[in-house]
Structure 1
Amino acid sequence: MIITRSPLRISLGGGGTDLPSYYRDHTGFLVAAAIDRHVHIVINRTILPEMILKYSQTERVTDVGAIQHPLVREAMRLVGIPADGLEIAAMADIPAGTGLGSSGSFCTALLRGLHALRNGNPSAAELAEQACHIEIDRLREPVGKQDQFIAAVGGVTCFRFHPDGHVEYWPLRASSDTLRRLERNLVLYFTGYTRSASEVLREQDTKTKAADQSMIDNLHFIKDLGLKSKEALEGGDLRAFAELMNVHWRSKKKRSGNMSNSRIDEWYDLGLKHGGLGGKLIGAGGGGFLMFYTEDAEQLTDTMTEAGLQQVPFRFDFEGTRIVSGATPSPALRPAVRRAA
């Protein structure tokens, strides 16, 4: 039996510029952080002449092509695993559709386990690229490369997405004290709304491909905010970072009328009035988690809890996608950091 896990993530600035429709012409940049809320994959060899797949549904198949779950089907095809004598189960700390990058985490965790079945040992970058290939190239989903890479690499990490598809990444150069304060003062509240990220991102993707100038200008501005967020974090100015979160959210809402709703806007305003110095909705938009930066977490949490939102505590995850049982991770399983030139 092999058990793998991948961290979920929060975006700290520049989100949305990781889609191919943008970075192929303009180069993308963002900062993201992996958190200690995970997707777990369990893979077990059995004596049955079929494959049993358990997630929110249960499937029993004898042929890979018959698998209904698209990520599982394409991952098994990519690695070359037959659909017999195998049981795969997926579990997550946070449900899908909540803006924390669950599909990217699912895919990297699954690929790590499938490669382990064949004694394969891809690097973190190779694992992320394979997950991107499945979602973007094979399944034609209008998603970016952020989720797969931050899941595989872990940490608080800067990413640059080059026009040729190459992804450059390096750890945010912030002090240990800044990272501790950032981790302590960022808080997540679940709005109760779930949505498909691809549905929300499709409008952005379509407009960008059509060279819609207002969309492209918006993404240019978001990328600039990502770079400014990096500078604020590396300079230890967390209040400046908090204000950039507010600017980011106001700009992000201009991309689509489906980005927010009246309830989310009310909760956002409420949070800023009761201890939040900055805030935004995590992920593609339309639901999921509100994230605030605060220096008075107790007041903010009391207010948001009274308003009906659930807080989800977290810490940063610096391990990335890994095997937790069933194989001995070698040094090559650890994220290989690519530093900027």
Structure 2
Amino acid sequence: MIYRSRAPLRIGLAGGGTDVSPYSDEFGGAILNATISHYAHASIQPIEENGIIIQTLDRKEEQRFEWNNNLPIDGKLDLLKGVYNRIQKDYGLPMTNFCLSTFVDAPAGSGLGTSSTLVVAIIGAFAEMLKLPLGEYDIAHYAYDIERKDLQLAGGKQDQYAATFGGVNFMEFYSDDKVIVNPLRIKQEYLNELENNLVLYFTSTSRESATIIKEQQKNVLEKNEKSIEAMHLLKDQARMMKEALLKGRLHEVGEILDYGFQQKRNMAKNISNDAIETLYEAVKKAGATGGKISGAGGGGFMIFYCPGNTRYKVIETLNTFGGEVKPYRFTKEGLRTWTAQ
């Protein structure tokens, strides 16, 4: 038997950063995101040799252990080991030899929620193996708990819920880790146009999101008015984007993205930089009406809204910057698990 899972990565469309504590605890956060046809994959396969093998096939990293209830958290493959340790602690695993393998369709630190989506996928594979009765909210919160509490990794809450639920969602975040996921019933013709007009671009750089997020958290704790006001306005942006998509006012999407781009700069240093600013201005001259840095900022993926047929001129312009335009489709499904014979 092979126990498999797949969870979709996401692009954030509005409200990014307002899902991070302590802002979401004190003021409440709101985010609008959509899952896309890039995935984190996980497989658990029995092996003949004694012990446990964990490996990331995309990053070509592997570790081997004798059977143990607690694997060392030492900076190597910690996401995989963190999930294993928590599953072992809460549910107990049968003493069978196996290999846990993962693969992610985008680089770590690229702003599509790769780390959290990978944690969701690994939980899904173990849930399939052990037949755990976990619902969508259970899995998403479990992933959040493992990352933020067990592994002490800085970050928000949106990625785990996007990966688990899938689709286009308006999410609300409150104190005590309360999250409400509101799936949006957007007409297919509006989604088709949004998909056509949104260009996904990888800058070919990755970044350490935790550094940016920690500064954002520090700004809230220290009552930095400029940073907190920017987060308030980004929360408003999420509501603006929700209304525009539901009512088919797609001509407003670029301007709403641009509004968010201006505000996000004020949340923390290094969210933008000279290279990003130069690129952003160039694609706006080519016809894009707005864009967004995906994730915490500083690099990774960006999206640009290109109305009419401007996407082709925008893509030509992007190709001169050394990154890569990535094809994608919006997806409706979240985490999926299955057993292969």
TM-score under structure 1 length normalisation: 0.92
Q: 1:28-47 CA deviation, whole Å, 9 max, x = no partner?
A: 11100000001111111113
Which of the residues 296, 303, 315 maps onto 1:284? 296
1:11 maps onto 2:19 in alignment: no
Query: Cα deviations across residues 32-71 of structure 1 (Å, max 9, x unaligned)?
Result: 0000001111111113221111112110112332364222
- Following superposition, the deviation at residue 83 of structure 1 comes to 7.8
Deviation of 1:325 after TM superposition, in Å, equals: 4.4
Residues 210 and 140 from structure 1, CA distance in 2 versus in 1: closer, same or farther, beyond 3 angstroms? farther
Q: How does 1:248-267 map to 2 (within 5 A)?
A: 248-267=260-279
Quick one: which of 255, 270, 273 aligns to 1:243? 255
How far the C-alpha of 1:219 sits from its partner, in A, is 0.8
Q: Give the counterpart letter for 1:115 in structure 2.
A: A
Question: 1:44 — aligned with what?
Answer: 45
> Residues 253 and 260 of structure 1 are in contact (CA less than 8 Å); yes or no, is this contact kept in structure 2?
yes
Distance 2:222 2:46 in 1: 47
C-alpha separation between the residues in 1 aligned to 2:262 and 2:180?
28
The answer to whether the 8 A contact 1:239-1:277 is kept is: no
Alignment match, 1:333 = none
> Which residue does 1:331 correspond to in 2?
none
Q: Which amino acid aligns with 1:29?
A: A
Could you give the per-residue CA deviations for residues 227-280 of structure 1, whole angstroms, max 9, x where no partner exists? Answer: 111111112111212101011111111222311221111111111111212111
1:151 maps to 2:163:
yes
> For 1:1-341, what aligned pairs fall within 5 Å after superposition?
1-55=2-56, 56=59, 57-62=61-66, 63=68, 64-66=70-72, 68-80=76-88, 81=93, 85-295=97-307, 296-326=310-340
* Cα distance change of structure 1 residues 40 and 243 upon mapping to structure 2, 3 Å threshold: same
Q: How many residue pairs get matched?
A: 327
Please tell me whether the aligned partners of residues 48 and 84 of structure 1 are also in contact (alpha carbons under 8 angstroms).
Answer: no
Q: Check the 8 A contact 2:15/2:234 in 1, yes or no.
A: yes
Alignment root-mean-square deviation, CA: 1.6
The CA distance in 2 between the partners of 1:83 and 1:139, in whole Å, is 24
For the structure 1 residues 302 and 324, does the alpha-carbon distance in structure 2 shift closer, same or farther, using more than 3 Å as the test? farther
Aligned partners of 2:293, 2:94: CA distance in 1, in Å?
40
Aligned residues with identical type, % of pairs:
31
Cα pair 1:6 1:320 within 8 Å, conserved: yes
* Structure 2 spans left out of the alignment, 5+ residues: none
Once residues 122 and 142 of structure 2 are traced to their aligned partners in structure 1, the CA distance between those partners, rounded to angstroms, is: 11
CA distance in 1, matches of 2:329, 2:37: 6
Between 83-92 and 30-39, the greater mean CA deviation after superposition: 83-92
Alpha-carbon spacing, 1:274–1:325, altered in 2? closer, same or farther (3 Å): farther
> Shift of the alpha carbon at 1:85?
0.6
